[in-house]
Structure 1
Amino acid sequence: MKTETVDGVALESWTPQEVASALEAGEIVLIDVRTPQEFMFEHVEGAMLMPMSGFTPKALPGQGEKRIVLHCGSGVRSEKMARSAIAAGLDRIAHMEGGFGAWKAARLPHIGTDMATGAPKKVTP
């Protein structure tokens, strides 16, 4: 995990493996900021969707005991939205380095689309 201080708040950049472990342990809320179309085609199981186009930091879930981790396709949009959340007053925010592309490159399980039927299917590389 890398950490950068933004406006006095730590912005964390997590690896896909760190995100997978924390998600499995129930320690984080994972929020996908990609478009609904991208999410429907493939996504991390258990991730919530809040597209960048309608991203509202004040609408994010409470940060009680769980850190919020944002992700997108490559890490660019999620970092931008994490910075936006910090500017809006959130102080426990992170994003996933490399986004969903890095998740798949790390060969982590996700929900994809069965191209024959259009139905969602678990992908376990």
Structure 2
Amino acid sequence: MKTEEVGQAIFETWTVDEVEEAFKAGKIVLIDVRTPQEYMFEHIEGALLMPLAFFKADALPGQSDKQIVFHCGSGARSEKVSRAAIEAGMAHVAHMEGGFGAWKGAKKPYIGTNMANGAPHRVN
């Protein structure tokens, strides 16, 4: 995990392995900031959706029980959202390095679309 101080806030960049471990343990809320179309085509099972275009820091859940970790396709949008969350007053923000592309590249499980019938299916 990489850590950066931004003013009074802490900005963390997590690896896909760190995200997977914390997500499985129920320690984080994973928020996908890609478009609804990207999410519907394939996503990490259990991740919430808050697209960058509709991002509102004041609509985020509190972090008293679980830390929020943002992710997108490559890491660029989630970093942008993370920095916007810091500007909005959040003191502890994290995002997943490399985004969903890195998640898939590391052969982590996700929900994809069966191209033969259009139905969602688990990809391991």
Which TM-score tier does this pair reach, normalised by the shorter chain? over 0.9
Q: Residue 22 of structure 2 aligns to a residue in which SS?
A: helix
Shift of 1:116: 0.7
Deviations along 1:79-120, whole A, 9 cap, x unmatched? 010000011011121000000000001110000000011110
| Unpaired segments ≥5 residues, structure 1 | none
Deviations along 1:2-51, whole A, 9 cap, x unmatched? 00111221100000110000000000000000000000000001100000
* Matched pairs, number: 124
Matched residue, 1:38: 38
Structure 2 distance, partners of 1:25, 1:108, is: 15
- Give the ranges of 4+ consecutive aligned residues of structure 1 lying more than 4 Å apart after TM superposition: none
| Unpaired segments ≥5 residues, structure 2 | none
Matched residue, 2:14: 14
Matched residue, 2:27: 27
Matched residue, 1:113: 113
Q: Residue 85 of structure 2 aligns to a residue in which SS?
A: helix
Q: TM-score scaled to structure 2, two decimals?
A: 0.98
The amino acid of 2:100's aligned partner reads: F
Structure 2 distance, partners of 1:92, 1:113, is: 34
Aligned-residue CA RMSD (Å): 0.6
Matched residue, 1:68: 68
The amino acid of 2:53's aligned partner reads: S
The amino acid of 2:87's aligned partner reads: A
Q: Residue 69 of structure 1 aligns to a residue in which SS?
A: strand
Structure 2 distance, partners of 1:66, 1:7, is: 22
* Equivalence map 1:46-125=2 (5 Å): 46-124=46-124
The amino acid of 1:92's aligned partner reads: H
Identity %: 64
The amino acid of 1:39's aligned partner reads: Y
